[in-house]
Amino acid sequence: MTQKTAEMLQTVQQTLTTAQKYEHACHVLNFDLETICPPKAMEQQGDLIAYLSNEGFKLKKDPAFIEAGEYLYAHRDELEEADAVLARQLHREYLHTKNITPEKMHSFSTVMNRAYVRWIEAKQASDFSLFAPSLREVLAVNREEVSLREPEDPSAPAASVYDQLLDDYERGITTEDLDALFGACKERLLPLMKQILASPKKIRTDFLSRKVTDEAQERMARYLLDVLQYDLQRGAFTTTEHPFTDWMAPNDVRITTHYHEDAFASSMYSIIHETGHALFEMLQPKEDWEHFIDSGKTMAMHESVSRFYENRIGRSEAFVHRIYPGVCEIFPEVMRDVSERELYEALNVVQPSLIRTEADEFTYTFHIIIRYEIEKALVSGEASIDDVPRLWNEKYREYLGIEPENDRTGCLQDVHWSSGFGYFPTYAVGNMYNAMYYNRLKNELDLDQVVASGDFAALNGWMAENIFRRANRLAPHEWIREITGRELTADDFLDYLETKYRDLYEI
């Protein structure tokens, strides 16, 4: 490395060290906003988050920082791998924000933060019309922000607005890819769902709605965190309207859940899901944080891990065997007449339902397809914001044969659109990733034995070495190819669902 390259690297590192502090503060405030902030204080706190975020953004608009970052990108062959990854990330970010002033960025952030507050109000009132004006603003911001970007490859055909939004969450994925992947899902899963629903095999679920106190559900949450080896010295958990995970620093990763008196499994599996996210952050290489590349992983990578722990592990027979004694001890009135097999089958029942986060593993994909098709139409202009409730209800009838009675259980159930479009497909792509690497994992670990015995140090260690270690450094297609030797496909996921649910329903 030449002296000039070293100096430029130092300039970048110094600026990012300060910017990281603003980002850390925003994460802490946002966690507060979504957990314990008083309702009447939410809008003001959102404004404070927008202000601090913009102060961090201003640091990256400094000409000296931009010059240093672009110099590193041009001389990235001189850099060690982690710093070369940083140079590529900074160059991409520079092209995306080159034409966005701090004033414009502040206005964008304000729109998103206020949209979250409007979403909360609209959901509580079950009235989409209260959220619609903010959603129009969010859509306008997404379109404007994309219009201001410089292309990464000026010689390539211009991508659609929606493809560019998808790329923000999952680099390289396009509507063409998703249409093919989701087309395969519809082709193979819709006929099988009809067979499952017509099966004479009936699964007992009555005990899932037996009432459980918040106190008992908190005990269960702590029990599951212990089973999964979530480090409470480096993490915390609490409750919120919509469960999420926030990673703030190497030793500060926080998760949330919610408690429903008559749906104890909801909290159990939100805890397992969010713990998957948290483990990804806790067990990533410390070097990635030190080199400012810890946010390089994509959301489909992240969702692959959270849904791996939630479903491939959490709903497996081995895991149910591991936790059955704990569930019986913590929920004695619920489990007084429930066998281990009955618990396993109930946790895997297929039943079309309205709420995505409560959906069974089999029908979940259709919740994502519905959202994908709606947001693709919104961003392209084929549908308007006012069409959302109607489209939502029509697509639930089409794919799942059910229809929401109100906006709260329909188009207002998810928080995601308050911060923009393009996130939802990552959940389904994540399922496809984890099905692919699961097929490698099961050949390298005696997975049933590991899970049934509670040896999560072995499982988490394998994940850290093979799934987490390179995630910040590789584009998604490179990452999944390095892990599995293959390109992204829906086949492993669909094969898994067909095998599991044909067996479960004796089809």
Residues taking part in catalysis: 274
Rounded distance between C-alpha atoms, residue 139 and residue 145, angstroms: 10
**Residue 87 DSSP code:** H
Answer yes or no: are the C-beta atoms of 164 and 149 closer than 8 Å: yes
Q: Are strands 235-239 and 245-249 parallel, antiparallel or unpaired?
A: unpaired
Q: Please answer whether residues 228 and 313 qualify as being in contact, where contact means their C-beta atoms are separated by less than 8 angstroms.
A: no
Q: How far is CA 447 from CA 168, 272, 324, 440, in A?
A: 34, 17, 18, 11
The structure tokens listed for 397 are: 């009838």
How many Å separate Cα 262 from the centre of its chain? 26
**β-strands 235-239, 252-257: how paired?**
parallel
Q: Whose CA is closest to 239, among 452, 486, 35, 467?
A: 35
Contact of 129 with 390, CB cutoff 8 Å: no
Contact by Cβ (8 Å): 314, 272: yes
For residue 474, the SS3 value is coil
CB 141 within 8 A of CB 147: no
What lies within 8 Å, CB to CB, of 384 at 6+ separation is 378
Residue corresponding to tokens 């079309």: 352
Distance between CA 108 and CA 113 in Å, rounded? 9
* Relative orientation angle of helices 425-444 and 161-169, to the nearest 10 degrees: 40
| CA distance linking residue 86 with residue 293, whole number of Å | 6
Which residues neighbour 356 within 8 Å (Cβ) at sequence distance 6 or greater? 364, 367, 368, 371, 413, 414
The SS3 of residue 254 is: strand
Torsion sign across C-alpha atoms 294, 45, 124, 130: negative
User: Which residues fall within 8 angstroms of residue 96, CB to CB, at 6 or more apart?
Assistant: 149, 150
